[in-house]
Amino acid sequence: MAEEAILGYLENHEEISDSGEFAAARGIDHAEIVNVIKSLHGFRFVDAQDIKRETWVLTEEGKKYAAEGSPEVQLFLAVPAEGSISKDELQKKINPGIFKIGCAQAGKNKWVEMGKNISRKVQHVEDQVKDLLLRIQDDKAIGKDDINSLKARKLIVLQTWKGYSVRKGPNYAPKRKKPATDLTRENLQRGDWKELEFKEYNFSAKGPPPECGHLHPLNKVKDRLKDIFRQLNFEEMPTNRYVESSFWNFDALFQPQQHPARDSHDTFFLQVPSTTRQLPEDYVELVKQVHESGGYGSRGYAYEWKRDEANKNLLRTHTTAISSRMLYALAQHAKEQAFTPKRYFSIDRVFRNEAVDRTHLAEFHQIEGLVCDRGLTLSHLIGILEDFFSRLGMSKLRFKPAYNPYTEPSMEIFSYHEGFGKWVEIGNSGMFRPEMLRPMGFPEDVSVIAWGLSLERPTMILYGIDNIRDLFGHKVDLTLMKKNPLCLIGIR
């Protein structure tokens, strides 16, 4: 209806000078007229020019006073014509808000005598405020001083009205044909395809963005690291066992039961189920013996090893718990058949009961690699570390002697960081001790070299993140998933 009115009017007239007056004269909502003008202007049926008018309109408080009268007049009328009234009695007769404003304005106008009691000083008053508000409501002009007075009392506010003046455009037609977007079977059957006007195809328009998932930066770096391990002929270990027994997590690794890392301050122990159901008994006995009295050239720890401590369930504190299971299974296989050298790796979550700060979380990811073969030495470990880290873009390495309960010798790994301008610790490494390997059943000439590092630290360096909580955890901004670039480590 609005479109027909506009196009039909312009067929016989030069211009619609004011869209507001045009809408009012035809009983059409102005918002509908505006929407149609915008559409016609977009298709160049008409040319539209903006019109802006500023008008004063009543606030909600102003509308109330226009209907009921100003507070000062309401208060004046509540005061008896003869005699006086106490403030408490007067306040009961009118609204508290009206009373406060009315007292101030009536006193200012010298209509009433204000004291302990209130009485009239004049017998008749005119409600000029109400009259001015009604004039504005009827779109009638009032004086500048009156406007300033009503504005100061927040009874009126300036409102900008927007409309259009409209003329014929280059594509004007008395009636707009909606362009067809498809040629249908019905069009062909009816024969009206000859009269159809088709919408032009916009070859520059972009299609809707595909709805799809986004990889987390940690997953991108993890995938690249897995590619590097596979290039080096490593097999991935199963990492879906988050809950582990203390035996596989600590005891099988020749870590003493009184070690500080096994304390509840560093480990998450489970309440249900609190203990493991079964362990390989023959192997458990050998582990107990090597802890208590040593063997294979070792004196052990010379303490009473407790089965109850080994049975406790926990959230694994390192992925080396997986390595101990895999090595035990490999040793059992070697007893039945010939020993087979293996290269294993894992990348998954571990859990530590640590205070959360910019560089530490209670859960994080550990990367671990190990090689099990005959005749391995420390030089083999250094060589494979240099090969592995060079594929990560870290060619400058240094090694520092360290201590681990289950590796001897042990080395901390440092890399020179060009951005920081200093050497940065990036991991730990070593050769598994005979006290760990021999109870599993490996021959004496079989050795295992291993190393580990976190996944978060290289990811933070690659993506320029200085707070681990911005990378992993419940405070991560989800837009990071959509905007982070590809990880290019490992590409030569």
CA dihedral 150, 156, 160, 165 (to 10 degrees): -80
Q: Are 287 and 249 in contact (CB under 8 A)?
A: no
Q: What pLDDT score was predicted for residue 81?
A: 87
231 vs 387: CA distance, rounded Å = 11
Antiparallel, parallel or unpaired: β 407-417 and 422-432: antiparallel
Q: Which of 438, 445, 451, 448 is nearest to 252 (CA)?
A: 438
The DSSP string of 76-143 is HHHS-SSSEEEHHHHHHHS-HHHHHHHHHHHHHTT-EE-SSEEEESSS----HHHHHHHHHHTT----
Protein fold of 1-58+158-168:
Ribosomal Protein S8; Chain: A, domain 1 (3.30.1370)
CA distance 157 to 59: 6
Rounded CA-CA distance 10/37 in Å is: 12
User: pTM for this one?
Assistant: 0.57
Q: Does residue 386 come out as left (phi exceeding 0), alpha (psi in the -120 to 50 range) or beta?
A: alpha
Q: What is the pLDDT of residue 492?
A: 38
Q: pLDDT at position 440, please?
A: 92
CB-based contacts of 401: which residues, under 8 Å, 6+ apart?
409, 410, 411, 412
Return the pLDDT at 287. 93
Domain coordinates of the chain in residue numbers?
A: 1-58+158-168, 217-483
Q: How far apart are CA 432 and CA 372, in angstroms?
A: 10
User: What's the pLDDT score for residue 486?
Assistant: 66
For the 217-483 domain, the top CATH level (class) is: alpha beta
Q: pLDDT tens per residue, the chain (492 residues)?
A: 888 888 888 888 888 988 888 888 888 989 999 998 898 888 888 899 999 888 888 999 999 999 999 988 998 888 888 888 888 888 888 888 888 888 888 888 899 888 888 888 888 989 999 999 999 888 888 899 988 999 999 999 988 888 889 999 888 888 877 778 888 898 889 888 888 878 788 888 888 877 777 788 888 888 889 999 999 999 999 998 999 999 999 999 999 988 887 776 678 899 989 999 889 999 999 999 999 998 888 899 999 999 999 999 999 999 999 999 999 999 998 887 888 899 999 999 899 887 777 666 778 889 999 999 998 999 999 999 999 888 877 788 899 999 888 899 999 999 887 777 888 888 899 999 999 999 998 988 899 999 998 888 878 777 777 778 777 777 777 777 777 766 666 443
